[in-house]
Structure 1
Amino acid sequence: MTTRGFVVSHARDARFERGLRAFFEYRDLGIARATEGRVVAHVIRATDGDFLSHPHFHKTTFQMIYVLKGWIEFDYEGQGKVRLEAGSCAHQPPEIRHQELGHSADLELLEIVFPADFETVEVPSVNG
């Protein structure tokens, strides 16, 4: 039996920090450290900040989001506009081009990504 990699993250200890997007704050759930960088999991929430989203993709092997509160809209390559609301889950295939179109002020979502340290690449357009 091993306890290597065991981690617990409590809401009472939550710290949100600015990250990839200036209009979001990110709460690291400790999974990247526990998995030695194989997986990252964080809660993302909307915050004050100028909303500016460009078409992009992520160099990942797995990415999913689950909306906890509020809503978010994306334009996905080959799918068009997709609105996700509380309770919605989306798997974003590796390197799918997408662009966020907007979100509610109370947005909170869970994002899980393999690997933890992934690259984001901006592209000219999503569906064209």
Structure 2
Amino acid sequence: MSAREHLPTATVSHARDADWDAGLRAFFAYRDLGVATATGGCVGAHVIRARGASETPGERHHHTLDFQFVYVLRGWVDFEYDGTGRVRLEAGSSVVQPPGIGHIELAHSDDLEMLEITLPAAFATTTAT
């Protein structure tokens, strides 16, 4: 079933109704935008925000997925990507992370907020060595 066949009505998400949950990284909070449910799991979209500033790197890892896009809404975040090195993303910056690329979140501001879109919505994450 395609995403278009699954969507019987519009799916609306209001900030005032937002639930911020734990997710992949303990130093971030995640707000599900309802896209996974609306697309039968074909696409995921959520807002990620910092739980305070951090200069402590996360774990190097990679994701098993088809597509990953990150757009910084507020603040800044430093990532390191295999083959690219350290990259600072600031408000208005975006990155398409190729499937399977090794990366690590190095540091972020206390006001960081990012929009992340993935295909599919659910995917495996593996810690890299």
TM-score (norm. length: structure 2)? 0.90
Tell me how far apart the structure 1 counterparts of residues 97 and 106 of structure 2 sit (CA, whole Å): 16
Tell me how far apart the structure 1 counterparts of residues 52 and 103 of structure 2 sit (CA, whole Å): 22
Tell me how far apart the structure 2 counterparts of residues 60 and 30 of structure 1 sit (CA, whole Å): 19
Tell me how far apart the structure 2 counterparts of residues 33 and 23 of structure 1 sit (CA, whole Å): 25
Letter in 2 for 1:66: Y
Letter in 2 for 1:13: D
Q: How does 1:31-110 map to 2 (within 5 A)?
A: 31-48=35-52, 51-110=56-115
Tell me how far apart the structure 2 counterparts of residues 28 and 53 of structure 1 sit (CA, whole Å): 22
Asked if 1:122 corresponds to 2:127, the answer is: yes
Task: Give the secondary-structure state (helix, strand or coil) at the position aligned to 2:26.
Answer: coil
- Higher mean Cα deviation, 85-94 or 8-17? 8-17
Tell me how far apart the structure 1 counterparts of residues 53 and 90 of structure 2 sit (CA, whole Å): 21
Distance 1:110 1:24, change over 3 A: same
Tell me how far apart the structure 2 counterparts of residues 18 and 122 of structure 1 sit (CA, whole Å): 18
The answer for the alignment partner of 2:27 in structure 1 is 23
- Asked if the contact 1:76–1:97 (Cα under 8 Å) also holds between the matched residues in 2, the reply is yes
Distance 1:10 1:103, change over 3 A: same
Task: Structure 2: state its 5+ residue gaps.
Answer: none
Task: Give the secondary-structure state (helix, strand or coil) at the position aligned to 2:59.
Answer: coil
Task: Give the secondary-structure state (helix, strand or coil) at the position aligned to 2:115.
Answer: strand
Task: Structure 1: state its 5+ residue gaps.
Answer: none
Tell me how far apart the structure 2 counterparts of residues 113 and 24 of structure 1 sit (CA, whole Å): 17
Root mean square deviation, CA, Å? 1.7
Letter in 2 for 1:26: Y
Number of paired residues? 123
Q: Which of 11, 14, 18 is the equivalent residue of 1:10? A: 14
Q: Deviations over 1:57-104 (max 9, x none)?
A: 000100000000000001101100000000001000100110111100
Sequence identity of aligned pairs in percent? 55
